[in-house]
Structure 1
Amino acid sequence: MKFSRIAAAVTTAALAPAVLIASPAFADGPGAPDAGHQPATTTPDQSVPDQAEEDRKTILAIIAHPMASEYMKEAGHKAIADGPKAMRKFIEVDQHKIRLDDYRIAISRLTADAGPGLKEGINKLLSSRHDIDMLRHFYEVTQYELRDDDNRIEISRLIGTGGPAVKEAGKKALKGTPADRTQFLKTGRFLAQASDDRVELSRIDESWDGPILSEAIGKLLNGSPTPAELRHFLEVTQYELRDQDNRVAIAKIIDGGGPELVKAGRAALAGTPADRTEFLKTGQHEARAKDQAAKDKAAKDKPAPGKDGQDQGNGSGTGTGAAATGNTATTAQGHTGAPLATTGASDNTTLIAGGAGTALVAGAGLLLAARMRRAGAQR
């Protein structure tokens, strides 16, 4: 009996909802829509929201790319803010136009540190018809091939002009990878050059006599100079110090020198470093030669001194009538044949002296005649 009641209750409970739903009274109950105005059953359309979200993610990936310019980023954020249609237009049209311009700008900027080969490749690409794929390939592949060609040429040039260390390191880089060549030109060449510069500075120190330059070289090499400091010393500082040593040397040379040497030395001191180098090389010797020539000419033109006790005239005398240096000696023959000296004052003096001698001879003759007459008378 109990089992029958339970079965009936279960059956009633199962049929009750179906009856109530089918009942006109329930269907037309208060608050129900009028017949013919029942809402249509719809399935929510998820396609538009899903597409918009996908476009938003796509745009975010585009503007996050390393090649994305500020203009690309700005346009992408604006499209997201403007909604689904703007995002779709950005993805399908705008991004490609902007990307084309971005590659053109990026490739143009490569010329700043490009070698001849890369510059030529850039100009050829941008001056011809091109699309985004050509630009992308040039930027991602071709530029590096052209750079390596330029690097090979530059390394070969350095090998031809460099010292032993540069030559060795450069040849090794040429046999290596493109990265090895880039690294050599970036840092390796300077380290190798520093080694060669140290050798060159030591050679200069050994061959230079000036104290100023030698002292500076010793101080530099005993320190910890950078490659740039060594190069600057060789290219600039050494010549400044050479000129200081040259100035000191010229000042010593002209101290107590002849007129021409002093003149040339002072002109060199007032001139350029090249003038001072030339003076020390040849100018000083030319000036010394001029001074010596002037001395020789002065000695040749100086009159020779006279010799005491020698007659400088046309005659020669051995008695007391010899004249002094520079005077003219004249021999006047008297009755006895003794010479009569003259001082060379004038010809009148000679005539007077001759007349006086004649008078003396005549007087002596008269005296002799008078004595002979007295003697005859006495006889």
Structure 2
Amino acid sequence: MKFTRISAFVASAAIAPAVLLASPAYAADAKAPAVSAPDAGSKTPAQQEEDDRAEILRLMGAKGAGPVFKEFGSDAIDRGAAAMRRFLEVGQFIARDDDNRVAIAQIIDQGGRGVRREGDKALNGTPEDRVKFLEKGQYDARFEDDRVHVFQIINAGGPSVREAASKALDANTREAIKQFLEVGQFEARIIDNRVLAMQIHSVGGPSVKAAAKKALLGTPEDVQAFLDKGQFEARKKDEADAAAAKGKDKGKGTPKPDASKGAGKDTGTAGVTEKGDQGAKPVATGSATPSAPAAQNAAAAGTSLAATGAGSALPWAAGGTVVALAGGAGLLVAARRRRSAEG
């Protein structure tokens, strides 16, 4: 069996969650020297086979033994003395390196930019490079990524979060950065959330104030829920109530028409004129628009002459004037004839 070939069992192990804390111990174990072959004549073949079997079982049960190592060790035991001797002298180191590759791939999948960068270098390097990454390199790279994460939290955090993050960065130790990421940032965010909820309460409407007060009397999760969703739902309710109240007040301020006040009121439009010596005067009809019979009666009464001051007496006055002019002309003719006879 070729030890350089990774079985299907190894491929499935690469998908499983990484056991990061076990990686350094397993990598350190990879540097253990190979078990040498026994001196000639010191042990019988049966004794040597039994010792090799016991050693392989011990290594398989040790902390950090990976799936590839266990599979290859079991296969060697099943195949007999020669296979076990070959596994102890060569095969175990190949199996360990295969397990290291799987562990690094899992770490890269869960790591940040720095971890992925250093992990790729280890995978493309030597077995020793992979051991160094698992023992030390992954932690240095993770510290770099954690610092970047803290800076990102500062940019999005409130005053308390920024203060706690700055203290962690100033300490610049793995312990300080880890404490902030795992505990400190959440404690600081609780303080910032409460301050923000109180600010919203101070400027909100009735529903917003009620929701904010309820959240502040509850748990940090209640405050977070208010900030994420509750404040917006309460604000919509306040806006709807304000719009309804405004519409109600507008309806109360519009006077209703009174039919009794308009009866018989002069609207300022004359539909009929009254005859007189100096002309025609408008006569109120009680309506802005006269009815058809009223308009006809007004026309019959001489309303069309209202602007000139003439009425139905005009034909008699004109006839008298004609008679007076005719009489005067006759007297003038008689006087001329008298002068002619005397002369």
TM-score normalized with structure 1 length: 0.57
Structure showing greater relative contact order (alpha-carbon pairs closer than 8 Å, 6 or more residues apart): 2
Question: Corresponding residue for 2:316?
Answer: 356
Task: Show structure 2 runs of 5+ residues with no match.
Answer: 1-40, 252-266, 289-300, 328-343
**Selected match of 1:253 from 220, 230, 246:** 246
Aligned partner letter, 1:221: L
Assess, with a 3 A threshold, how the Cα gap between structure 1 residues 173 and 318 changes in structure 2: closer, same or farther: farther
How many residue pairs were aligned?
253
Deviation at residue 320 of structure 1 after TM alignment: 7.3
Matched residue of 1:121: which SS? helix
Matches within 5 A, 1:194-233: 194-209=190-205, 211-226=206-221, 229-233=222-226
Identity over aligned residues, as a percent?
31
Question: Corresponding residue for 1:241?
Answer: 234
Assess, with a 3 A threshold, how the Cα gap between structure 1 residues 66 and 217 changes in structure 2: closer, same or farther: farther
Measured against aligned partners, the alpha-carbon deviations of 1:135-177 in whole angstroms (never above 9, x if no partner) come to 0110110010011011112112222332121122112222152
2:99 matches 1:140: no
Matched residue of 2:220: which SS? coil
Assess, with a 3 A threshold, how the Cα gap between structure 1 residues 111 and 235 changes in structure 2: closer, same or farther: farther
2:105 matches 1:108: yes
Q: Does the 8 Å contact 2:190/2:220 carry over to 1?
A: no
Q: Does the 8 Å contact 1:67/1:102 carry over to 2?
A: no
Matched residue of 2:281: which SS? coil
**Selected match of 1:72 from 63, 69, 79:** 69
> Structure 1: how far apart are the matches of 2:225 and 2:121?
39
> Structure 1: how far apart are the matches of 2:81 and 2:226?
66
Task: Show structure 1 runs of 5+ residues with no match.
Answer: 1-43, 259-304, 327-340, 368-379
> Structure 2: how far apart are the matches of 1:142 and 1:74?
28
2:185 matches 1:189: yes
Assess, with a 3 A threshold, how the Cα gap between structure 1 residues 66 and 241 changes in structure 2: closer, same or farther: farther
> Structure 2: how far apart are the matches of 1:91 and 1:106?
22
Question: Corresponding residue for 2:86?
Answer: 89
> Structure 2: how far apart are the matches of 1:65 and 1:255?
81
Question: Corresponding residue for 2:304?
Answer: 344
> Structure 1: how far apart are the matches of 2:100 and 2:189?
38
Question: Corresponding residue for 2:258?
Answer: none
Higher Cα Rg: structure 1 or 2? 1
Deviation at residue 206 of structure 1 after TM alignment: 0.5
**Selected match of 1:171 from 155, 166, 169:** 166
> Structure 2: how far apart are the matches of 1:152 and 1:45?
58
Aligned partner letter, 2:61: A
Aligned partner letter, 1:322: K
Measured against aligned partners, the alpha-carbon deviations of 1:192-239 in whole angstroms (never above 9, x if no partner) come to 111110110011000112x2222121111112233xx43343123322
Deviation at residue 67 of structure 1 after TM alignment: 3.3
Assess, with a 3 A threshold, how the Cα gap between structure 1 residues 354 and 108 changes in structure 2: closer, same or farther: same
2:20 matches 1:60: no
Deviation at residue 353 of structure 1 after TM alignment: 3.9
> Structure 2: how far apart are the matches of 1:232 and 1:111?
34
2:151 matches 1:156: yes
Q: Does the 8 Å contact 2:68/2:96 carry over to 1?
A: no
Assess, with a 3 A threshold, how the Cα gap between structure 1 residues 65 and 235 changes in structure 2: closer, same or farther: farther
Aligned partner letter, 1:357: A
Matched residue of 1:157: which SS? helix
Deviation at residue 363 of structure 1 after TM alignment: 7.3
Question: Corresponding residue for 1:288?
Answer: none
> Structure 2: how far apart are the matches of 1:318 and 1:119?
116
Deviation at residue 63 of structure 1 after TM alignment: 1.9
Output the aligned Cα RMSD.
3.7
Deviation at residue 53 of structure 1 after TM alignment: 3.8
Deviation at residue 319 of structure 1 after TM alignment: 5.5
